[in-house]
């Protein structure tokens, strides 16, 4: 492969992909004085997360939660309102407006940090070369001392189930349905399926979740998963666990799914207006030109790395396209670490300290090890558990569903894992992450003063429970 033309722009770093990994890598590189460009094929920056993932889904989760509260809780709080009416087009508009503001914010940060946005599809064209194909088909090559692959992931398709607009949809399609379906069938009881299922359930859809495994929330602590599923069932969602989907047939009046027990058994048919396929995500490496630099993916599509290096001098990989949790905030940490290594600094990410959150109502959040993981590894632990039903702020706010659980080493008291099912769990988990990052003990949490009354006191009380001195339950 020939070198890039001498006239080609020369960069210290070229990043392929403008999602949370890519744009944060670009900003950090700019801060460190590196000449940097980011290649992004969408018309807006932010990748899946900002455009069709984390941000729009949270906008709909928030709006749908308020819609439900207005219909179920306002009267009990002494708030009299007129008849509640859903304006779905306005709900979608405010979602899109919020997303637009966020993507424009990244453009501003690129300009502030002297990052060049190369608009088009990026492809590695050889060592130190990135080819950018613009929307009009024109191509240009830039030279780079370092190339960071940050192309993220895409929804995993399900064999035998073809996508059909507004009938059989992936997560992107579920964010922009033109009407509330009478019945929504969700294939997959993971983060995406449960979040988007809960949105449409609040807005009036009957929601049935079909899951291959016998537990919802893959990777979640089993005790939390059981309570979480029970809570979602009370809200009106139904679950068909241990079930395999083998096919789908689309008709004018809806979609028919063929399902059968995962362990084998008689097939049956489920019918819904819309089917959401949410069985996970897979790395996006299509047309990336990996073969030009001798890089291969594993059989699942991931690119291996050694401290973010992808087997070749000057090739780096971060985010969903490599190993570790497929989460936006993990990609951000990868981005900073990789760029700082390029700049000659230290860079490291401890994936054991990357929290997971499901933004349902109530939320679920966890960091570190589950009880099952510790037992399987033969690691002893002590447990403290505190219910939100005994937390004053949760009780006053009528948010008493759930609990906090703290797992700690019986000898050193070091915190091994924290699991929260309850109000604002995603916000509360940050204190646990900080404690664990510094190798802290459950006693450190227990003897820290938390403002009263706050939901965060539930974390303090659970930590007190590790040594058996819970005082509020």
Residues with a catalytic annotation lie at 452
- CA 307 to chain CA centroid, Å, is 23
Nearest to 144 by CA among 166, 126, 165: 126
CB atoms within 10 A of CB 261: 14
Alpha-carbon span 408 to 371, nearest angstrom: 10
Work out whether strand 356-358 and strand 315-317 pair parallel, antiparallel, or are unpaired. Answer: unpaired
- Sheet order of strands, 268-272 included: 243-251, 254-261, 268-272
Tokens 């929330």 identify what position?
A: 217
Nearest to 250 by CA among 267, 268, 273, 269: 273
Tokens 């339950």 identify what position?
A: 473
Taking a C-beta distance cutoff of 8 angstroms, is the pair 261, 251 a contact? no
Taking a C-beta distance cutoff of 8 angstroms, is the pair 319, 330 a contact? yes
Is the peptide bond preceding residue 453 cis, with omega within 30 degrees of 0? yes
The residue length of the chain stands at 473
Alpha-carbon span 15 to 38, nearest angstrom: 5
> Cβ-count burial of 78 within 10 angstroms (0-12 exposed, 13-18 middle, 19+ buried)?
exposed
Alpha-carbon span 411 to 375, nearest angstrom: 16
Is the peptide bond preceding residue 362 cis, with omega within 30 degrees of 0? yes
Note the helical H segments in 167-292.
171-174, 191-202, 222-234
DSSP codes of every residue in 104-123: HHHHHHHHHTTEEEEESEEE
Report helix angle 54-72 to 191-202, nearest 10.
40
């Amino acid at each position: 492969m020939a070198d890039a033309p001498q006239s080609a722009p020369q960069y210290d770093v070229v990043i392929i992909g403008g999602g949370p990994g890519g744009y944060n890598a670009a900003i950090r590189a700019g801060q460190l004085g590196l000449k940097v460009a980011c290649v992004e094929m969408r018309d807006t920056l932010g990748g899946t997360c900002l455009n069709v993932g984390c941000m729009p889904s949270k906008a709909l989760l928030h709006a749908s939660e308020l819609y439900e509260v207005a219909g179920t809780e306002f009267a009990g709080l002494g708030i009299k309102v007129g008849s509640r009416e859903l304006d779905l087009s306005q709900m979608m508009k405010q979602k899109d407006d919020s997303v637009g503001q966020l993507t424009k914010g990244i453009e501003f940060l690129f300009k502030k940090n002297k990052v060049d946005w190369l608009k088009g599809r990026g492809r590695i064209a050889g060592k130190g070369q990135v080819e950018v194909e613009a929307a009009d088909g024109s191509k240009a090559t830039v030279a780079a001392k370092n190339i960071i692959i940050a192309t993220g992931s895409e929804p995993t398709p399900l064999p035998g189930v073809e996508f059909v607009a507004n009938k059989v949809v992936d997560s992107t399609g579920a964010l922009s349905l033109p009407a509330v379906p009478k019945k929504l069938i969700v294939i997959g009881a993971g983060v995406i399926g449960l979040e988007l299922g809960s949105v449409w359930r609040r807005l009036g859809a009957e929601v049935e979740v079909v899951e291959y495994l016998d537990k919802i929330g893959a990777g979640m602590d089993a005790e939390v998963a059981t309570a979480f599923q029970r809570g979602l069932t009370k809200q009106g969602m139904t679950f068909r666990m241990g079930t395999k989907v083998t096919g789908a047939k689309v008709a004018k009046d809806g979609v028919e799914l063929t399902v059968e027990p995962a362990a084998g058994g008689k097939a049956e048919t489920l019918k819904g207006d819309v089917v959401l396929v949410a069985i996970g995500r897979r790395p996006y490496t299509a047309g990336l030109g990996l073969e030009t630099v001798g890089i291969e993916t594993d059989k699942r599509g991931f690119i291996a790395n050694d401290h973010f290096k992808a087997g070749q001098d000057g090739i780096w990989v971060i985010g969903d396209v490599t190993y570790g949790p497929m989460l936006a905030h993990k990609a951000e940490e990868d981005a900073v670490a990789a760029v700082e290594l390029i700049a000659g600094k230290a860079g490291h990410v401890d994936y054991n300290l990357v929290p997971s959150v499901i933004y349902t109502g109530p939320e679920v959040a966890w960091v570190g090890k589950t009880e099952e993981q510790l037992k399987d590894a033969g690691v002893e632990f002590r447990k403290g558990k505190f219910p939100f039903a005994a937390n004053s702020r949760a009780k006053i706010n009528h948010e008493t569903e759930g609990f906090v659980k703290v797992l700690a080493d019986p000898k050193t008291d070091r915190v091994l894992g924290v699991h929260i099912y309850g109000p604002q769990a995603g916000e509360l988990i940050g204190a646990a992450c900080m404690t664990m990052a510094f190798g802290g003990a459950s006693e450190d949490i227990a003897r820290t003063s938390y403002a009263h009354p706050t939901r965060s006191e539930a974390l303090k009380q659970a930590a007190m429970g590790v040594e058996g001195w819970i005082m509020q339950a």
